[in-house]
Amino acid sequence: MNDSSAPENTRRTPSLKRELVLLVTALAVPLVALQAWWGYHDYELARESAETDALAFADATALGVLQFFAQTEEMMTATADQFGPEGFTGENCTKHVETMAGLFPFLRNALVVGPDGLVVCSHVETPGQISAVEWRWWDEVRTDPVFTIGEPLEADITGVWILPVIAPLTDEAGAFAGALVGAIELVRLSRYFGTLNLPEEHLVTVATADRVVIARSHDAESRVGSSLPELTGSDREVRPGRWVATGPDLSGGPRTWGQVAVPPGWIIYVGVPDEGVYGPALQEALGHLALTLLVVFLAVLLAGHSYRD
């Protein structure tokens, strides 16, 4: 009787082993799927956190930019008010622009333009008589004499990229009598905007509505005055004037972007590097998945050897 039952036990043992392995595997598949889902969930949380951080940094930078130009307007207007009728010519004119250039470290040059558009005096020596009539901001300031921020340009006098800021001058009768002009050097401005309490690895770019770079926290010397590439198509407006996006920077590094519009139509871009955002989440997800797979493998291996022939 015992001899006749041996073949049946031998046949049932492999079957039980296969059934146990299949059972462990069936239980393991949902566990692996759950780990994969949690990994994706963590990845999405990291993405949302990156967008929130990038937009918050862009807001902070935008506030710094607006404060900077509010202070610039106050300084320029106050200096323009000090000019009397005698201040438009001779030594008084030179004294005013030299004082202004000394007080404002971002200026590459300071100059006074008369009502006819001719430069009356300049902190930086000019090569002969220079007229501002062809400068892009001249007609605007002459017809609407208020503080004005011009378009970035490569300066005729110094040959560097500047941002002109202009305060109108008036005579005793209150009529337009010229303009006090400050030429802010964009590279110096970039160094300032790049220090607005942002981590070193974050990238700050300030660009005009035409996507011309005004300031950049990294490689400013080679980037200011250049044009940004077209939008990546991932831009998503979260509120009017505020966007988030993903895409490479000018060097090809992948980043998550916060973008904020500020007067006069500029866009502040702050790029958070993806490596610092997704790297920890991806490493944690892969670690959990690897641990789960190891446990499943050991369970299947143990199940396969739990029965002896």
How many CB atoms sit inside 10 A of residue 282's CB? 16
Q: What is the DSSP letter of 105?
A: T
CA atoms of 102 and 106, how far apart (whole Å): 10
Q: What's the pLDDT at 309?
A: 47
For the stretch 241-253, pLDDT in tens is 999 988 888 777 8
Check if the beta carbon of residue 135 is closer than 8 Å to that of residue 118. no
Among 97, 58, 91, CA closest to 261:
58
Check if the beta carbon of residue 208 is closer than 8 Å to that of residue 224. no
270 or 4, higher pLDDT: 270
Q: What's the pLDDT at 243?
A: 92
Check if the beta carbon of residue 45 is closer than 8 Å to that of residue 277. no
Lowest mean pLDDT among 77-81, 107-111, 142-146, 170-174: 170-174
Element (H, E) at 52: helix 2-81
Q: What's the pLDDT at 3?
A: 52
Q: What amino acid occupies position 161?
A: W
305 Cβ partners below 8 Å, 6+ apart?
none
CA atoms of 230 and 207, how far apart (whole Å): 13
Give CA 68 to chain center in angstroms: 17
Q: What's the pLDDT at 1?
A: 46
User: 132-136 contacts: CB < 8 A, separation 24 or more?
Assistant: 132/179, 132/181, 135/164
- Per-residue CA distances from 124 to 93, 160, 162, 294 (Å): 13, 13, 14, 72
Lowest mean pLDDT among 59-68, 143-152, 225-234: 225-234
For the stretch 76-115, pLDDT in tens is 888 888 776 555 666 778 888 888 888 887 888 999 999 9
Q: β-strand 203-207 against 213-216: which pairing, if any? A: antiparallel
For the stretch 10-20, pLDDT in tens is 555 556 666 65
**Does position 292 have pLDDT exceeding 80, yes or no?**
no
Q: What's the pLDDT at 166?
A: 95
**Does position 195 have pLDDT exceeding 70, yes or no?**
no
| % residues pLDDT > 90 (the chain) | 19
Average pLDDT over residues 173-187: 89
Q: What is the DSSP letter of 118?
A: B
